[in-house]
Structure 1
Amino acid sequence: MKFMRSAMVILLAVAACGEKPATPAAETPVPIRVAEVVSADAANTFRAAGTVRLRREIDLGFTTPGRVASIAVEEGARVRRGQLLASLDATMVAADLSAASAERTRAAADLSRAKELFAKGWVTRARLESAEAAYRAAAATTSSARFAANTARIVAPADGVILRRFAEVNQVVDAGTPVLAFGDGRDGFVLRVPVSDVQASGIVQTGSVPIDIAALGPAPVAARIIEVAGRADDRTGTFAVELALPPDPALRSGQIGHAVLAVRSNGGRESMLVPSSAVFAARAGEAFVYVLDEAGTRVKARQIVTGAAGDNGIAVLSGLKAGERVAVTGISRLSEGSLVTPTPVPKA
């Protein structure tokens, strides 16, 4: 009996040695879609319409009243610096200058006589001082009349373009009344876009802003922000954003353009943006996402600090960097280090 038990033990041991070890089951990758983490500044954009203008546009007029004798340019004409643009009828200003010059000559003669008589003691100092005052007044009147004669002509202050004519020949105009609208070509064209106060406070000064202007064709042009108004327009309450446009002979003041502007959210703090479907276990401003590793085969859970949620996704204040990829589907099937087969989410 003892011999039989020993034999059985030996047979079982031999049988056990002949069995092959069990092979562990192969890990099945989880198919997921992944989205790239982007800057919230780049993602929060809006499209706004604006008007093309020359950056320097001014109204030109005469400094004295009179009748317009000539206007030498039409709207849209390109002019050179110093070119004659318009002139007043010189009859009145020439007469005023002649009268002022004659009065100055008479006052000069009276002053000369008064000095001679005062030297001989025949007139008082008060009489001499009165003659001196009269001469200074006549000289000032002559200078004013000469200035009026010189400014009875409007010349181009710089190379530019005539934007509008406000007056016509033979029209009587007051001093300072606009006669021509002039666009200074030295600083080029800009697109002025009105935005709300909230948008203005968060405008991001990106290196390039895409602009489309129908007159330039379907392809967008690259502009740059050069100024955001510090004060709202009194009539509309909007703030003007000014974008410098590249030179193009087809540009005209008054054309309509559209700009895609980026605006910063979360009170101006730099943040990232992820799809809301990527976030799980959210609580008290914190949550988790699954981040795809550099090899693109496995995911790791990472804690993040979340900000405001919007139509574009959830703002991430810390925990992620632009360019990283996060899982947006299959979240319930994932765990730390899960093997995955990622597919990028199609871009809108």
Structure 2
Amino acid sequence: MRRLLLVLAGVMLVACSKKEPPPEPVRPVLSIKVQALDEENLGRFAGSIQARYESNIGFRVPGRIASRSVDVGAEVDKGSLLATLDPTDQQNQLRTAEGNLASIQAQFINAQANARRQQELFDRGVGSQAQLDGAQTDLKTTQASLDQAKASLSQARDQLNYVELRADHKAVVTAWNAEAGQVVTAGQQVVTLAQPDIKEAVIDLPDTLVDQLPEGVVFQVASQLNPNISTTATVREIEPQAESTTRTRRARLTLAETPTAFRLGTAISVTLSSTIKPRIELPLSALQEVAGKPRIWVVDVQAQTVAPRDVSIISRSDSTVVVASGVKSGERIVTAGVNSLKPGQKVKVDEDSPQ
């Protein structure tokens, strides 16, 4: 009995001497809450608000500009006087045409009288057919000259009216290309008029980017002075050829809405974005390669544990990786120390981790 008691005491002593293994320590980790991206940013460019419809007008006759009646930025109505030419040449032409018409009118009166007289003589049998025919021919010739003189006088009057350059529609003066005292030719561009009712955004895009624009690309247009004033726009037209020095192509965008602050000439900032299949961008440090397969570690916020998950990669750069599947928006992903984690390991999310 004594020997049995000694044996039992030894067993109990040995059992008490064995210590249970300490619990695995909780590992602090850095992590981020991921958000899915459904738009791709293609760039930001500067531009301006311009009128969709502009007209470059000039005088219909040559001459020296005598005066300019409005400045750039002025609003003009239809028929408003914009500029005038020195009318001396046109006035001289008008006086010449009036003199020619008076002379031919006198000749026509004489031709009428002569034709009437020859007709009376012929009717009484004392005049010849040849004389009558000659008088009637002179009358017709003089009539044609009279019609030509009247047309020349009308043209001279029009030429005198053309020394005044007037707006053919309600518009805003956006540019002058000639100054008072300058001699211009007929049809030379003198002033640019813009119709202010319909406006659009105008930007210059790199030639390489234009060829890669996806269908249905969306433009975000904002005022440079106040970015809170913004709207969206779509492509109306893009110039087919690039500018030789800058290798850019001018794009004109139709605005979905036209804020009041978008006046002609307003400086704007245009951001290009395109709708894409939802994807998630992660830091490259969150990716782990296991047997050639990429995976990440997902934090179970409730249990405070981590678990590995395989993902599919779309693209990667020096610092980021774009994931197409394997992770959902709103999940928390470990971003550092992924190679030392174990499935089910207890972790503590660092308070400095992005939320």
Counterpart position of 2:243: 234
Following TM superposition, the consecutive aligned residue runs of length 4 or more in structure 1 with deviations greater than 6 angstroms are: 7-11, 130-147
- 2:218 touches 2:234 (CA, 8 Å); kept in 1? no
Q: Deviations over 1:164-187 (max 9, x none)?
A: 322233432112212113333222
| 2:80 aligned partner | 83
Q: Which amino acid aligns with 1:247?
A: T
- Secondary structure of the equivalent of 1:332? helix
Structure 1 residues 328 and 186, CA, compared in 2 at 3 Å: closer, same or farther? same
Match of 2:31 among 30, 33, 38: 33
Structure 2 counterpart of 1:310, from 308, 317, 330: 317
Say which SS state the counterpart of residue 196 (structure 2) adopts.
strand
Among candidates 329, 335, 341, match of residue 328 of structure 1: 335
* CA distance 1:300–1:206, change in 2 (3 Å): farther
* Rounded Cα–Cα distance in structure 1 between residues aligned with 2:162 and 2:291: 74
| Equivalent in 147, 164, 167 of residue 156 of structure 1 | 167
Q: What is the alpha-carbon distance in structure 2 between the residues aligned to residue 74 and residue 229 of structure 1?
A: 31
Question: Residues 239 and 169 from structure 1, CA distance in 2 versus in 1: closer, same or farther, beyond 3 angstroms?
Answer: closer
Q: How far did residue 238 of structure 1 move?
A: 1.1
- Extract unaligned runs of 5+ from structure 1: 12-21, 114-121, 124-129
Structure 2: distance between partners of 1:298 and 1:145: 96
Alpha carbons 2:58, 2:191 under 8 Å: kept: yes
Offset from partner CA, 1:35-82 (integer Å, 9 cap, x none): 42442744x454434455444444221233233243211233233344
How many pairs align? 309
Question: In structure 2, do the counterparts of structure 1 residues 167 and 283 end up closer, same or farther at CA, with 3 Å as the change threshold?
Answer: farther
The answer to whether the 8 A contact 2:46-2:267 is kept is: yes
Cα distance in structure 2, aligned partners of 1:139 and 1:319: 89
- Equivalent of 1:165 in 176, 179, 192: 176
Which structure 2 residues correspond to residues 249-260 of structure 1 after superposition, within 5 A? 253=265, 258-260=269-271
Give the partner amino acid of 1:239.
Answer: R
1:188 and 2:199 equivalent?
yes
TM-score by length of 1: 0.63
| Bigger shift: residues 166-175 or 312-321 | 312-321
3-state SS of 2:30 partner: strand
Q: Deviations over 1:113-145 (max 9, x none)?
A: 9xxxxxxxx79xxxxxx9999999999978876
Alignment of structure 1 residues 137-152 onto 2, 5 Å = 151-152=162-163
Structure 1 residue 247 and structure 2 residue 260: aligned?
yes
Cα distance in 1 for partners of 2:151, 2:342 equals: 93
User: Bigger radius of gyration, 1 or 2?
Assistant: 2
Q: 2:198 is paired with a residue of what secondary structure? A: strand
After TM superposition, the structure 1 = structure 2 runs for residues 1-348 of structure 1, keeping only pairs within 5 Å, are: 25=23, 28=26, 30-39=28-37, 41-42=39-40, 44=41, 46-51=43-48, 53-90=50-87, 92-93=89-90, 95=93, 99=97, 151-188=162-199, 190-198=201-209, 201-202=212-213, 205-206=217-218, 208-212=220-224, 216=225, 221-227=229-235, 229-235=238-244, 236-242=246-252, 244=255, 246-248=259-261, 253=265, 258-262=269-273, 271-281=279-289, 287-292=294-299, 297-310=304-317, 313-343=320-350, 345-346=353-354
Normalization by structure 2: what TM-score?
0.62
Percent of paired sites with the same residue: 24
**2:240 counterpart letter in structure 1:** R
Task: Deviation per CA, 1:296-316: give whole Å up to 9, x if none.
Answer: 945443332213323562223
SS in 1 for 2:190: strand
Structure 2 runs not aligned, ≥5 long? 10-19, 113-132, 135-140
